Amino acid sequence: MTVFCWSLGLLMLAISRPAVDSLPVDQVIAKAEQQTAAFLAQYDDSTRFLHSQEAKEKAITVGMRGWTAGFFPGKLWYLYAFTGDPRWKKEALRFTLPLAADDTLTNTHDLGFMVGIPFEKAYQITKDSSFRKVLIQAARSLISRYHAQVGCIKSWDGGPWHYPVIVDNLMNLELLFRATALSGDSSFYQIAVSHINHDLRYRFRKDFSTYHVLDYDPETGKLLARKTWQGYADSSCWSRGQAWAIYGLTVAYRFTRNPRYLFYARQAADYFIHQLAAYADRIPPWDFNAPDSLRKLKDASAAAIAASALLELRNYVPQKANAYQQWALQMLASLCAPSYLNTDSGSFLLVKHATGDAHHHREMDVPLIYADYYLLQALWRYSHPVTKGHAPNFWF
Ligand code: GLY
């Protein structure tokens, strides 16, 4: 009886866990092409960017100032990279070019997402130096938000804060590292490093989960409070925030080789993985510490971001490379399976069950463009592993 139960247990585990032998990359890309073509047939305006979907054949788009505007052209560039179809290059350029107007924005920290993502890909593919100029100008605008007393870039204007610095902000520092590489001006790099060094003083709890919002006094640079905005509570771990931390610190290590950044990237990843072990489908809830009843709500975008980050991190931690790869593949296998991959007719986005902001009851259990973007990036990294003698190109 014991042996039978044990075998049954193993069988159940094998059934419930995603199979990772190989990921159906070609099928996912074909689906993304079909969905994107259907979206474009209905929504032609290249200053409105696919963000989410509210009903069959009914998209939610954002304008050029939306923080998610860059992900749709980013996804189009991946479609071009995967397929080589000139149609996707044409569409990618069409939706990238209007975002050049954002390179002078100084009221947002999201310029890495909005400008960095589409223009970095445009530059790498076309080598057109005007795209390089846009990247450098966007980095210039981003560092205008740096305050030497705090040592960090300010994430948000307005709201109930004094000088908020959010974990998501780590993601936009890649633009600064790249701007130094593209321009030779080290001030972008120095500000990115200052931001991270100050951030690491307060970002992590003892268990290496992350706080979402650090609020500073801009006069003295002192930390005033550690809060959440999108997580369940100030003391809980918002899963997408944790994924941003893994990703952002892995990128910081890529550019600096600072072992301290790698240490924190690994700790953030290990916390995420440890929590994920409780979920058979390997997709996190929107907040790891929300009460049981609220943890049924998933955030598939956090899985896509973390999977992509782990496929880079694995290259820097030889002793854990296999484990990080396996966890990434388990998340990806779930995202590519029917429970998470949208194959309904009239769908414009791949990934189901993402959550934007459950704290404010917004965008709960919906498709979100950034989940698609990081899924495609992770599949790109999975299909193009770093091999000896080949320099990694993780900023593609
Ligand atoms: N960076 C905004 C978010 O993750 O919701």
pLDDT tens per residue across span 217-227? 999 999 999 99
SS3 category, 394: coil
pTM of the model: 0.94
- pLDDT tens digits, residue range 172-194? 999 999 999 999 999 999 999 99
- For the cut 70, the answer to whether the pLDDT of residue 14 exceeds it is no
Active site residue 21: no
Confidence of residue 286 (pLDDT cuts 50, 70, 90): very high
User: Where do the domains of the chain lie?
Assistant: 2-383
Helical H segments across the chain, by residue range:
2-16, 25-42, 71-83, 86-96, 111, 117-126, 129-143, 173-183, 187-202, 239-256, 259-276, 300-313, 321-335, 369-383
CATH topology assigned to domain 2-383: Glycosyltransferase (1.50.10)
159 or 16, which is more confident? 159
- In this predicted structure, what is the pLDDT of residue 396? 81
Residue 9 pLDDT > 50: no
Closest protein CA for atom 5 of ligand 1: 356
270 is catalytic: no
Q: Tokens 């990934």 map to which residue?
A: 351
Please report which confidence band the pLDDT of residue 395 belongs to, taking 50, 70 and 90 as the band edges: confident
Region 285-312 average pLDDT: 98
Quote the tokens at residue 30: 């074909």
**Ligand 1 pocket member 203 (CB < 6 A):** no
Contacts of 320 (CB under 8 A, 6+ apart): 266, 314
271: tokens are 């916390």
Q: Render pLDDT for 301-330 as a digit per residue (tens, 0 to 9).
A: 999 999 999 999 999 999 999 999 999 999
Which of 108, 155, 229, 244 to mutate to test ligand 1, by most ligand atoms within 8 A of the CB atom? 244
Separation of alpha carbons 300 and 335, rounded Å: 7
Q: DSSP code of 209? A: -
